[in-house]
Amino acid sequence: MGGKSRRRTTAPAALVAVAALVLAAAPSAGAGPRTGTGTGTGTGTAPSPAAVGARQGASDASSTPPVPRLPRDFRGKGKWIVRDLDITVPFTWEGRDGDSQMTAGGPQYPIWFTNLIYRDTLYTLTYKWPGLDEHPCSRIPGFNLEALNEGFENARFVGPETLRSTPQRRVNHWRVGVVLPQLPPGNHPRLPLALGDIYVDEDNRGTFWQVLQFGVQNLYDPELDEWLVMDTFEHRPGTVALPRRCEPPRPPDGAW
């Protein structure tokens, strides 16, 4: 599935693919989540995704593992972190038969949104966000799990690392991105629209432990970067439910 894309229906398909997960570049100094080992989910209690280090004695960098691939069925819980706003909220990410859904926060939290890949359409609905007055459900048809995983095919392998969480997790770190315009090497003006750092389990490329998103898909955030950090990730079917606000309007009585 994807991360918090929140793009309108005119968003480029390539950008949507990245925003739909997952996905982001390393934070600038001071912009990443605060260092620590806490596991709380209350506002302002960020865990330690910044405490990520390359492993001593790691395998040869020339040995590249398979690229990340989101599975058809999964369920997990964790935290969504907006460091510059000092906000951390509960987060769930679930998939069932190829559909998937992210949900961050809730009515009692300062942010609350859901993203879905549902029946070949990407939906994004933000219920609450500081300074936000509009709350439409955006729909981008023609996007599914296969399209998302195809986007991962061009991910660049950064290297093996260890997340200093509890427990510590051995992961493979990948980077994906969308840069426009697409021009050959050389002195050309370029704009990095969306970048993503993805940390998947060393032994299972379908187990996603951490993602940092950075770019225009995070337009609501002043620093344009947001983290998702998973505490659990299980390979069994989750629950995916399209919000009523995202359902197509019913035809009037008597209409076909």
CA distance 127 to 32: 25
Taken in order of first residue, the domains within the chain and their CATH numbers are 13-26+74-181+192-246 (2.50.20)
Asked if residues 80 and 111 have their Cβ atoms less than 8 Å apart, the reply is: yes
Asked if residues 210 and 49 have their Cβ atoms less than 8 Å apart, the reply is: yes
Most confident of 5-14, 26-35, 80-89, 128-137: 80-89
Quick one: how far is CA 15 from the chain centroid? 13
| Residue 105 backbone dihedrals phi, psi, to 5 degrees | 70, -150
Q: pLDDT class for 108, splitting at 50, 70, 90?
A: very high
Mean pLDDT of 163-191: 91
What is the residue whose two structure tokens read 């493979």?
172
Asked if residues 201 and 210 have their Cβ atoms less than 8 Å apart, the reply is: no
Question: What residues are paired with 191 via a beta bridge?
Answer: 180
Q: Which amino acid is at 168?
A: Q
Percent over 90 (pLDDT), the chain: 57
Whether 58 shows a pLDDT value over 80: the answer reads no
Asked if residues 182 and 211 have their Cβ atoms less than 8 Å apart, the reply is: no
Whether 18 shows a pLDDT value over 60: the answer reads no
Q: Is the pTM of this model over 0.85?
A: no
What is the widest separation between alpha-carbon atoms in the chain? 70
| Number of separate helices (H) and strands (E) present in the chain | 2, 12
Close Cβ partners of 29 (under 8 Å, ≥ 6 residues apart): none
